[in-house]
Each structure stands twice: as structure tokens, then as C-alpha cells.
Structure 1
Amino acid sequence: MISVSKALSIISEVLYTPKTKTVLLKDTNGLRLSKNIPTPIHMPPFRQSAMDGYALLLHDKNTYQIIGEVKAGDADDYSLLPGQGVRIFTGARVPDNANTIVIQEKVIRSENTITINEEIHQNQNIRATGEQIKKGDIALEKGTKISPAGIGFLAGLGITDLEVFVPPSAAIITTGNELIAPGQKLQEGKIYESNSVQLQAVLEQFQIKEINKYIVQDEYESTKETIRQAIKNNDLVLISGGISVGDYDFVKEALSELGTEELFYKIKQKPGKPLFFGKNKETFIFALPGNPASSLTCFYIYVIPVIQKIMGDSASAGLKRTLKSLTKDFIKKGDRAQFLKAKVSNETVEILEGQSSAMLHSYAVANALVFIPENISKVDKDSLVETILLPD
């Protein structure tokens, strides 16, 4: 059995070369760039009006002759003489020799003449060519996570597709004779299967869409064959249940026979002690505890850093951690580290009732986990505790 810190260290040292592919810009939300994106044009591509008003060539008087009009999208240019100007609108191309724009609210117009009633300065209300970014500069760097704003920014540069890190294909294998699918009639001795549903949901939070689900009974050969197929066809395999030491827990034996490299097995923590992490060729494998809360906690703490590695997120190492003030005293039983379902509110965190590894109700309202190291047995109210923020 190893410590939490040792398990996380092993995960951090695992080597993986992320896969890449070219994707339409509209489909890249939440993915990460696999290379720098140079800017193909200046932005804006021409001197652009920032306001509705008048583009002028300054002279020493406060009256100007208006000789034309430029709307957004017009390609016409005007060569102004000192004391001349054009009516102009936001986003329109500014005439080459205009050197200021005065907003419409600050002038008095009479037919083709305007009188300005405020002091004006050169280049006011003019967006310079390349003011936002210049052609050839890096628009977004390798590893940047694409957001809706990023998609809009790149679309404005005329970019239509991107090379991104590919989300892994994932398999979820659910083991257990006692499990039946939600929607079926609940029989004596059976329970509804929930782990694959929650694991699929959290995988999808990380933009993983290719998810293959398998169900296997507690029988060795079928367990081994199902795992074999999952390893063959997926980058990431999550196995729910069957990893403990009961008479009908066959997962670890099957993984060993299939040639899986064991990177660690069993962590000194609660919940989730019987967690297995290994690698078979290029496929990462987690055998998660069968209890729903244990399974989800192990995913949040250990699977997410591996997903980040696969998806080219070299800057992250799991979920965000912070320090929050505890709302009441907490006494830890036993000598294992604990991950406790909790709720953050501003600068405080409350440890919730219902910490059993089988209980999801408290998880359903939690937005954080509080981590209590193995060497700490009591935490006083108002003490700062390490708090792991769950994904939105």
C-alpha cells in the first residue's frame, strides 16, 4: 500500500505522447491546441472607426466640410484636404489620411458642414491596423484550451480549422452479478447500476465523447475477455468493481494475465483504498472501487491528471486546489488519508454528512473535496484545510 502523494507522483511521471488531429474550428470548444497558431492577417486589417461620427483631416479651425460617407463594409477611400472629413460609422474603414474621428454627439451639423464643440486630438477613436494583433504574431499558443471566445477570435482571423490534441477513447467496464440497469424492475438482491452512468457523465465534462460501455458478470474468463477487448480498442479503460480481494473479484488476476504493467495497487486513503493503476502497451487502466462514492473520488483525484496528460494539458496536475476555512471541528478516525465530500461557500468549506463510500446523496450537493492527510487526526474549526474544487 502506498501513500496518496506517492500515487500522484507515479501518475505525474508517466510518459505519454498525445495524439493530434485537425478539427473544424466550430468543433474545438474545450480542446487544446497542439501547435502555435500564427495570425494570417492584421486585426483589424485596416484602420477602423471605433465610433459613429466624422473622420477628419485636422486644421486650425473648428468647422469642417463633409465630402462623403463611409459605412462598415465600404471599400471606398477618400483623399481629404485639411478641414475636410467624411461621415463614418463604427467598424468602417478610415480614409488613409484622416487623422482623427470626432463622435457624432460632439458636433453640430448644418448641411455639409460640421462645427465641433470640444477639443479633439490626433488618432482619437481610430483603431490602428494590427492594433489587436499583427500578421505573423502568435494568435494562441500550443496547449491553449479553446473557449467560445477563442473560437470567435480565431474566426475573426479567417481561421476555419485547428490542429488539436485528441481526446482519448474510453471504455467503462462494470462488473457485478448484483447490478441491473435503471428502468428495469428491481429484483430481490439486485441494485441499480450507477457507476457507468456517473463515469460517462464526468468523462463528457472533459470533452471525451468516444465512450464504450461493457457489462460483465463475476466470472473469470468473461472478465478477462472483456478487459482484453477494452484494452485493444481504447486509450483509457475504467473498470468499476471487482478489484478487491473477494472470492468473486477477478479483475486484478485478469489484468495480470493480459500482461498489464502494474504501476500501483492500493492506496492508504479513505475512500478508495483498493485502487489499481496500470498500463498495457499505450492504454492506461484504472480499476476503481465498486462503491459509487469511492469510484467517483478516485476518478477526480487520479484519473483526471491522466486525462489531462493525454489531452496535452501539461500545465495542470489534477483539479484546482485551494485553502478554505473549516466551518466546524473535524475528528478523523483511523490512520488513512481522507477525501471528504464538502461544500465551499466563499472562503469557508463545510464537511458534509454522509461520508460513506456507498453514499452519493451528499456528493450530489458537494462542490469540493476536503483532503485530510494521514498524519492528522483532528482539525479545529476555522483552520485552513486543503480543498479540491470539483469540476462545474
Structure 2
Amino acid sequence: MISEQEARERVLAAISCSKEESLPLLKSLGRFAAADVLATVPLPGFDNSMMDGYAVQSRALGFAKVVGEQPAGAQLDLVCGEGEAIRIFTGAPLPAGADAVVMQEDVERTGDSIRWQESLQAGENVRHRGADLCEGQMILKVGDKLTAGRIGVLASQGFTSIRVIKPPRVAVLSTGNELIAPGLPLSAGQIYNSNGFMLQALLMAQGIEDISSSHCQDDFDQTVQTLKQLLATHDVVLLSGGVSVGDHDQIKPALQALGIKPDLWRVNVKPGKPFLFAQHEGKLIFGLPGNPVSSYVTYQIFVKPALMKRMGARQVEPTRLRVVSAQSLHNDGNRPHYLRGILKEGAFRVQGLQESHALFALSQADALLRLEAGATVAAGEPVEVLI
């Protein structure tokens, strides 16, 4: 049994990015950049007015004669001389000679003359060329996530498409004679297959869309054949159940029959000890425990970072937050324990049952607290949680 840290490092060391592809900007939302991008268009692209008003010379003494009008959208090449003003609108190019804009609310206009009370500073109410973004400035780095804001910046540079990393095609395979699909009537001893749906939802939340889902019984031949088919058509196979040492756990024997030796199996963590990771001809295989909380936790701490790296993300580790514990906590076990809980007003509190089968308690949680073996945390003590 190896440590959680060693397991994560070994998994991440085995991961390389998927292939690149070029996508239209809006199709790239949520993907990760495959190349650095530099600005070619300054923002703003020209000196312009921050608001509706009058463009003037800042040294003017509180009055000026209106000699023209500059709307947004067209450069009229107007010139503002001494003692003159140009009527101007938000976003309109600043006329030559003017270096400030006086707000229309601060102006009294009589015919072609305007007056204002307050003195002006050079640059007042003016957006200067390149103040936000200069030519040559880095606007996107390899591994940056394409957010709405970044797509907006790319559009401001005239881009219509962007090179991104293509997400992997993932197969979710659940195993177990006791599992049946939701919607069917339950018989004695049967349960609904919640893990298959939960894992698909976790993948979708991570931005992976090409997902297939299948199920096989605790049958060696069927498991071998199903794994063989999935590895031929997918980049990643995510297994739920069947990775432990029970008489009906067929995953390890099936992998062995296919000539696949696990890179690691059994990790010193609770829940999730029987976590498995293997590779086969560039394909990735993750074996998660069958208990839903164990499956969820091992996905968060091992699978998600690995898939983030495969998708090209620069930041692959989970988001961590320093808070305080709302209660006294103790781990009397011999493995680090990920407690499920809720964050409220900067404090973490354990939520519901902490057994590995407690799916409802998990559904109410929004954070994980890793408590070392034998460790005690006092109420009010600072702790670090995974969001």
C-alpha cells in the first residue's frame, strides 16, 4: 500500500496532453489553450471619451465655443483649438488638440457656448490607447482555461478560432450483479446503479462531453471482453467497483488476462484504499471502489487532476481553502481520512454519516477535509479543505 502523495505523483507523471484541435471561439468555452496568444490590437485602440460630454483642452478657463460634434463609430478628424469644444459621445475618438472631456451634466450650454465650474485635469474622462492592453502583451498562456472573459478578449483581437486541447473520450464501466439501471423495478438484494450516473456527472462538470456508459456482471469472460472493447475505442476507462480482493471482483484478473499490469493498487487513504491505476497502449485505466463515497473521493484526489492534465490544464490540483473547524474532530484510524462536510461563514462542519456508503450525506457536502491518521483538530482551529 502506497501513500496518497506517491500515488498522485505516479499517476500525474504518466499523463500527457491529448491532441490539439482548432475550434471557433464559442465552441472553445471550457477548453484549455494549446498555445500562447499575444495581443495585436491595443485596448482601447485609440484615445476616446469615457462618457457623453464635451472634448476640450484641460487648460480652458471654464468656457468654450462648440465647433463640432464627434459621434462614436467614425473618426471625423476634428480638431479642438484653444477656447473650443467638440460635442462628444461615449466611445467616440478624442479630437486632435483636446486632452480632457467635461461631463455633459457639469455643463451649462447656451447656443454654441458652454460653461462649467470645476477645473479639469489632463486625461480627465479619457480612455487612453493601450491603457488596458498593449500590442505584444500576453493574453492567453498554454494551459489557461477558455472562460467567457478570455473569449471576449480574443474576439477583441479579431480572432474567430483558437487552438485548444481535445478532451479525452471516456468510458464509464460499472460492475456488479447487484446493480440495475434506474427506472427498472428493484428485486430483493438489488440496488440502483448510482455510481455510473455520478461519475458521468463528474466528468461532464469537468468539461468532458464524449462519454459512454456501460455495465457488466461479475463475470470474468464478460469483464475481459467489455474491457477489451472499451480500450479499443476510448482514451480513458473509468471503472466503478470490482477492484478489491473479493471472490467476485473481476477487474484485476481481467486486466491480467489482457496483459495489463496495474501501475499501482491500494492507496493509504480513507475512503478509497483499493484505488487502481493502469496504462495500456496509451490508454488510461482508473479503477475506483464500488462504495459511492469512496468512488467520489478517489475521483476528486486522483482522477480529476489526471484528466485535467490530459486536457491541457496548467493548474490541475484541487482548489484548497483555509478555514476553521466548527467542531472538534479526531481520526482514530490508521489512514488519512477525507471527511465530507459543509462550509458556512468560513467554518467547516462534518455533514451526516461518514461511512463510505453514505451517499445522501455526500450529496449535502461541498468540501473535503483531510485528517491525518491519529490527528485531532480542536473547534476553531485553522484547517485546509478541498472545494
- TM-score normalised by L of structure 2: 0.95
Post-superposition shift, 1:31?
A: 1.7
Correspondence 1:288 to 2:288:
yes
Post-superposition shift, 1:233?
A: 1.8
**Paired residue type of 2:130:** G
Residue-by-residue CA offset, 1:98-143 (whole Å, 9 max, x unaligned): 2221111222111111112110122211111222112232222222
Post-superposition shift, 1:88?
A: 0.6
Residue-by-residue CA offset, 1:25-62 (whole Å, 9 max, x unaligned): 11222222111112131211221111110012456543
**Paired residue type of 1:296:** Y
| Stretch deviating more after TM superposition (99-108 or 10-19) | 10-19
Residue-by-residue CA offset, 1:54-110 (whole Å, 9 max, x unaligned): 012456543211122122212322123222221111111111332221111222111
Query: Contact 1:219/1:250 (CA < 8 Å) preserved in 2?
Result: yes
Given the superposition, is the C-alpha separation of residues 51 and 326 from structure 1 closer, same or farther in structure 2, using an over 3 Å criterion?
A: same
Given the superposition, is the C-alpha separation of residues 137 and 324 from structure 1 closer, same or farther in structure 2, using an over 3 Å criterion?
A: closer
Correspondence 1:384 to 2:382:
yes
Structure 1, unpaired ranges of 5+: none
Post-superposition shift, 1:6?
A: 2.0
For 2:24, the equivalent position in structure 1 comes to 24
Task: Determine what percentage of the aligned residue pairs are the same residue.
Answer: 33
4+ runs of 1 displaced by more than 6 Å? none
Query: Contact 1:343/1:367 (CA < 8 Å) preserved in 2?
Result: yes
For 1:37, the equivalent position in structure 2 comes to 37
- TM-score normalised by L of structure 1: 0.93
> Whole-Å Cα distance in 1 between the matches of residues 109 and 73 of structure 2?
24
RMSD: 1.8
> Whole-Å Cα distance in 2 between the matches of residues 231 and 272 of structure 1?
24
Given the superposition, is the C-alpha separation of residues 253 and 160 from structure 1 closer, same or farther in structure 2, using an over 3 Å criterion?
A: same
Structure 2, unpaired ranges of 5+: none
Post-superposition shift, 1:15?
A: 4.1
> Whole-Å Cα distance in 1 between the matches of residues 301 and 245 of structure 2?
23
Given the superposition, is the C-alpha separation of residues 377 and 44 from structure 1 closer, same or farther in structure 2, using an over 3 Å criterion?
A: closer
Secondary structure of the 2:267 match is coil
For 2:372, the equivalent position in structure 1 comes to 373
**Paired residue type of 1:388:** L
For 2:337, the equivalent position in structure 1 comes to 338
Residue-by-residue CA offset, 1:282-333 (whole Å, 9 max, x unaligned): 221111111111111110111011011112223332x122343222233334
5 Å-filtered alignment, 1:322-361, equals 322-361=321-360
> Whole-Å Cα distance in 2 between the matches of residues 29 and 357 of structure 1?
35
For 2:215, the equivalent position in structure 1 comes to 215
**Paired residue type of 2:141:** E
5 Å-filtered alignment, 1:181-196, equals 181-196=181-196
Secondary structure of the 1:262 match is coil
